[in-house]
Amino acid sequence: MKPFCWLLAAVMFLFSYDIYSFVPIQEEIIQNFREGDYLKVEASINPRRLSRGEEGKLILKFKLKEGILLSPHPFFSIELSPNEALVFPKDFFSATDLDIQSEENNGTEFLNVEEDIEIPFTVILDAERGDHILEGKIKYFAYSLEQEWFLKNTIDFSAPFYLRNRSSKN
């Protein structure tokens, strides 16, 4: 009976060692991910100077680190914070709402974010003149085929713009 207990203890030790030896690697991946090395977002408003009633676009440019892909599953979303000066068709957009194309690489589906994403808006007629900031966040799943990891993350963005003290001529 004693040899069996020793064998069981040795097997349990080996399994626990393998499980816990993975944790520092996973923590390192998460720490690197939080540092923003894998995805960068540049947001801008076009045109930068707007008049009341004018239409414009929020433009998002993505820059992914080499070897990192964005997954369309389970979701990719862009959420806009409430803004007193701009009206968007809605405040939550998915990849399909924005016609972001999916592609396949070695049997793995990913979002092609090489092209700029443009979201139209209209300036409210009674918006206050001056400097404003549009804020939002992007929720996404990123993965690396080489390092074999998959993480969920959120990244915030902001885009400054200026409202003139006049209405558009439309």
Residue ranges per structural domain of the chain: 38-167
- For residue 82, pLDDT over 80 is answered with yes
Q: What is the pLDDT of residues 97-111, one digit of tens each?
A: 999 999 987 788 899
Q: What is the pLDDT of residues 50-71, one digit of tens each?
A: 999 999 999 999 998 888 899 9
Per-residue pLDDT, 74 = 77
The CATH number of the structural domain formed by 38-167 is 2.60.40
Other Cβ atoms less than 10 A from the Cβ of 150: the count is 13
Give me the chain's average pLDDT, please. Answer: 82
Name the pTM for this structure. 0.75
